[in-house]
Amino acid sequence: MIDKLRGMQFIDSPCYHISRQYELYIAFRSEYSEEQMAQFFSSILRARDDFRAFVKNNYRYGDTLEKVAQKANMSTNHFLRKFKEHFGMTAHRWMVKQKAEKLVKAIQAGETNAKLLADRFGFHSTAGLYLFCRRQVGMTFQQLTRHVADGQSITI
């Protein structure tokens, strides 16, 4: 293999490695079944190579969906299709649900200052936080804090 690589002339292109990856993938696909490939690659794939783990580790950085798709080396449309396939909902709906769950956890942890929570979760004002609570949690911010203080469970 080393001898073959020494004799190769590399193309000076920023996308050359991507075309080589596709070429290798096609060669593998022509020789092995999906099950064989899964067995072979499962031992060398890292957590970031798993789509669900990748999304969970990268969505929180405030990147746009386009940037997250780019990090995953996918087109935005392919990323959104794959997202729906893996999570069963649109990326936007999933991200809103994550935000609502984190908000409830913050309130359960004792954070009840609306202004601080609005800033922490990226709302422009407390009015945005109140509207978010009503739409996504199904109750006002005050009702939510009372429910949590009373120890009642919140489903999102």
The domain that holds 143 is classified in CATH as 1.10.10
Question: Are 82 and 105 members of one domain?
Answer: no
Say if residue 62 is in the same domain as residue 99. Answer: no
> Does the reported pTM lie above 0.85?
no
pLDDT of residue 117: 94
- The residue ranges of DSSP E strands in the chain, in sequence order, are none
Q: Are 106 and 78 in contact (CB under 8 A)?
A: no
Q: Judge whether 155 lies within some domain.
A: no
Token pair of 123 as six digits:
């709302």
Q: Assess if residue 154 is contained within a domain.
A: no
Who wins on pLDDT, 13 or 108? 108
- Specify if 116 maps to a domain: yes
18, part of any domain: yes
Higher-confidence position of 88 and 153: 88
Q: What confidence score (pLDDT) does residue 47 get?
A: 42
Residue 29 counted as domain residue: yes
Under the banding of pLDDT at 50, 70 and 90, the label for residue 81 is: very high
The structural domain count of the chain equals 3
Determine contact, residues 138/127, Cβ cutoff 8 Å: no
Whether residue 31 sits in one domain with residue 57: no
- Residues in CB range of 126: below 8 A, 6 or more apart: 114, 115, 118, 141
Range of the domain at 119: 92-149
The mean pLDDT of 34-63, rounded to a whole number, is 70
As a whole number, mean pLDDT of residues 144-155 equals: 86
pLDDT surpasses 70 at 5? no
Burial of 51 (0-12, 13-18, 19+ CB in 10 A): middle
In a domain, 63, yes or no: yes
Predicted confidence (pLDDT) at residue 141 exceeds the cutoff of 80 = yes
* Mean pLDDT over each residue of the chain, to the nearest integer: 82
